[in-house]
Structure 1
């Protein structure tokens, strides 16, 4: 009996060690980013596509203040309330001293410079599809933005979701695919990169499972709003029946064919997309047109 107990204890310890190893925060291949030099001019486009200002500017910031990425915006969820951190160029309170590799760890794997898991309120499940060059470019652009000494707010998350190591299990259970649907040929392929990756559109427009994972079988089929107020609309071809021209115009102006206007978080998204060239908006529209209809 004692021998059996010792074996069980040993197996338990070994299982714990294996699980600890499997759930360790991942990092990018350093060699891939070693010789990359970011271009701030190109990084500005990546910045607007990625929607950084929508989340990381101070709540209700307008105009030039949207470029002060001091954080503080609240994101209520069934798991608690998450607060966007300061990602300004301040070296102490922001990410001014981060390297390209550290930014890549965060965007691709949701791993902090200290080696902790980030919560997926930060959409690394989408940003993980970003190309290394784009990550280097946005890193260069972020360094040109104003610094803020506003301390980041702590997330209001209770047990057991406040155990960061548990996010390693979540990542293990719900890995993000390298691409969600099969798309061939431009401009839809370019639109796929913008929508599935940098634009992280599916993070709001796709329903989630009980543990907050994206339901890729219902990709872009609409979802309850994260704060529980209303619904984020579906963007599949059977639901989005506007003309291509109307969809592209809406992305840059916020005006619908019925002369209504975008509201809520979508108004912030439109502010970002308005900085993009027409070709990017047309590519996004082309991608939306080839989305599978979810029955």
Structure 2
């Protein structure tokens, strides 16, 4: 099914009004992009912190409408929806529909982390030579949520969980996945022997993806997902938090309170060079703090003081 695409440059301040106007005249979807994505000094936004929705100062706002929508009439309706907005820089193009998620999955190959953990697209099998009897297989359909195993921060956390399983730490344990994205870390923990897992994320789409992936992996009865404001306060022997370093620092008291005495924590989403600040912030509550690097990203692990 083809669509009519409208694109318009705007500022962060103007964006909410433009978006409301587009939605009021029937936009099927509205997306935002950095207007200066190719600039060498532009700051990337890898993943928003809990409760945050950061935007660039200058944006390109794109909206999809049904194919055949009259362009001049659409502009007239938009001008009537908010008379103070400038629609003169709006451009249009016809676009063909594509199942972007399925196209992405077709290019995604099974990945191994540690000794046993495999992340496999839901429509593929383990590669030849893999030990299917011993493998902990997560079948993933991540959709639009962060966390497919391909990012170094996710890989670092999966390797850590696989190592905990070899130590016997995960056996029958309860695991908290804070910033769960697609639920990949919670699902891996369950496949590696954990009894229960809880995922927490500030993105409703991530919670939907997590619960959908739990169904796909036949562990829906052992995985719960919550927004931060509805998460039940509890302690866990294993906590993993794959969020940004700034969020890890600001949430240190919250995360420390979630780890049971003697429990383990792994934190990622930390760029190389940021690990010292994270270690310093957690040193009062955790011992044996160590940093591990993969490409430009770090993982910090520790044990909760008793």
* TM-score in terms of structure 1 length: 0.25
More helix by share: 1
Instruction: Pick 1 or 2: higher relative contact order, CA cutoff 8 A, min separation 6.
Output: 1
More strand by share: 2
